[in-house]
Amino acid sequence: MEGQITHTDAAIKLKEEIEKVEIAMLTTQGDDGRFRARPMHTTRVDADGILWFFTSDQSDKVREIERNPKVGLGYSGPGKDTYVSVSGEAQLVKDKAKMHDLWNPTLKAWFADGLDTPDIALLKITVEKAEYWDSASGTLLTLYGMVKSTVTGKDARGDSEHEKLDVRS
């Protein structure tokens, strides 16, 4: 299902899809030009298509983003039949008030001193484009659709939702 939706609607749909998965593989470009990906926990998805992550300002990903702020994010939730691909621009944010707003006590596993951790920072990803695939029917019905497709010879792709989202014009 591909159609035209507004930028606001696209950002809201993106938020809904990402909140189903939470963990993304953040891809940056390394010094050698090769792509590097690492798992990141999405702290918040704003309704306007901004993604927030806590990070260390001393990490390789931050140096890579300073050289090339274009990033990719891949969300995969096979148990939820949800997949999201995002491209956008990243920037480092050291705003303590914003960190306080986004803080969650479970983050102490990575930042033992909480918001007083010396290298704590935020990554702000401004989403430009996104694409998602979401099975409308769930795993059992998807499997049923695959079996039905094999027997009837009809394509099973119509049983899932797929949309390209242009979050920024």
Least confident among 12-16, 28-32, 88-92, 132-136: 132-136
Query: Is residue 102 predicted with pLDDT exceeding 70?
Result: yes
Choice between 10 and 106, residue whose per-residue pLDDT is larger:
106
- Domains of the chain: residue spans and CATH: 7-166 (2.30.110.10)
Cα–Cα distance between 41 and 115 in angstroms, integer? Answer: 17
Report the mean per-residue pLDDT for the chain. Answer: 83
| DSSP designation for 156 | S
Task: Tell me the pTM.
Answer: 0.79
Give the pLDDT confidence of 14-56 residue by residue, as tens digits.
888 888 898 999 999 998 999 999 999 999 999 888 999 999 9
Q: Write down how long the chain is.
A: 169
Nearest of 107, 111, 45 to residue 73 by alpha carbon: 45
